[in-house]
Amino acid sequence: MKKQIKNTLNQTVFGKNIVYMRVCDSTNELAKREITMPHGTVFIANKQTKGKGRLGRSWESEKNSGIYMSMLIKEPLPLTDVSQLTLVAGVAVCRALGYDTKIKWPNDIVIGTRKVCGILTEKTGDAIICGIGINVNTKSFPHHLSEIATSLYIESGEKFDRDYICALVLNEFELLYNQFKEGGFAEIYGQYFDLCITLGHDVVATQNGEEICGFACGISPEGGLIIDTEEGEVTVSSGEVSVRGMYGYV
């Protein structure tokens, strides 16, 4: 496993050190427990028993079918908000997967109207953990996800090598991460903007239990979603907001 990933890596930091587990609760939690590991360590599991989404939600993490990985970041970054790294990782996943993948702001990677990947970035002390879950060879999902989730296999009828895809994501992430480190979100802004399908749609953002309805009209320089509401423009930042299309999931 590690060897196959390492053979495809073409960068120097992310994935140089890999911690692989057959089963763990959550690779983000594993990374928190192993916080003394070096910068760039990647934690990968074949199955998660308590895969996490944002806001206390769960991430379905069946064995042998998806990529569940977390990257440990221990460098000072020009962040106005840790969730900006979620946006960087989102662009990296789209570049690695191709397949007409798009981003539903802030952290859902979708194909058509279904979610193929989710990203969860957490700060713990001075370190940041960026967790990525990708549905690769998943054949079917539990009932509650059947309308919103998809996998590369469901979309294409083909099975993919998870290690290879994992390495492609790490390669793309490291390239973008370096640009981000140098110049902040401005470096990624154009690519994120082009990939974001939320723009141009009516949306409902739920922030601290309050609903903000309006037209998604832009991305702020910090990566927030600008919503044109009846009361004027409101910018929501990605950490604590959930966004749904007014007429469906996207």
Q: Taking the complex as a whole, how short is the minimal distance between the CB of residue 109 and ligand BT5, in angstroms?
A: 9
- Which residue lies nearer to ligand BT5 by CB, 89 or 184? 89
Exposed/middle/buried for residue 35 (C-beta within 10 Å: 0-12, 13-18, 19+): middle
- Which residue lies nearer to ligand BT5 by CB, 142 or 232? 142
CA atoms within 13 A on the CB side of 166: 30
Counting contacts by CB under 6 A, is residue 27 touching ligand BT5?
Answer: yes
Q: Outline where DSSP puts E strands in the chain.
A: 18-24, 42-48, 66-73, 101-104, 108-111, 114-124, 127-135, 202-207, 210-219, 225-229, 232-236, 241-245
Q: From the list 18, 41, 68, 94, which residue makes contact with ligand BT5 (rule: CB under 6 A)?
A: 68
Kindly determine how many residues on this chain lie close enough to bind ligand BT5 according to the rule CB under 6 A: 28
Going from the C-alpha of 53 to that of each of 27, 28, 80, 178, 220, the distances in angstroms are: 12, 10, 22, 26, 24
Q: Taking the complex as a whole, how short is the minimal distance between the CB of residue 228 and ligand BT5, in angstroms?
A: 23
Please choose, out of 131-139, 180-188, 213-221, 226-234, the segment that lies near ligand BT5 by the rule CB under 6 A: 131-139
> Letter for the amino acid at 191?
Q
- Which residue lies nearer to ligand BT5 by CB, 149 or 169? 149
Strand 225-229 relative to strand 210-219, pairing? antiparallel
Write each residue from 141 to 170 as x if it is in contact with ligand BT5 (CB under 6 A), else as -, in one continuous string: ----x--xx---------------------
Counting contacts by CB under 6 A, is residue 118 touching ligand BT5?
Answer: yes
The alpha carbon of residue 5 and the mean position of all alpha carbons in its chain are separated, in whole angstroms, by: 19
Write each residue from 69 to 108 as x if it is in contact with ligand BT5 (CB under 6 A), else as -, in one continuous string: xx------------------------------------xx
Phi, psi of 212 (to 5 degrees): -115, 115
Write out the two tokens for 49.
């028993």
Residues that bind ligand BT5 (CB under 6 A): 26-28, 48, 51-55, 57, 59-60, 68-70, 107-108, 115, 118-120, 131-133, 135, 145, 148-149
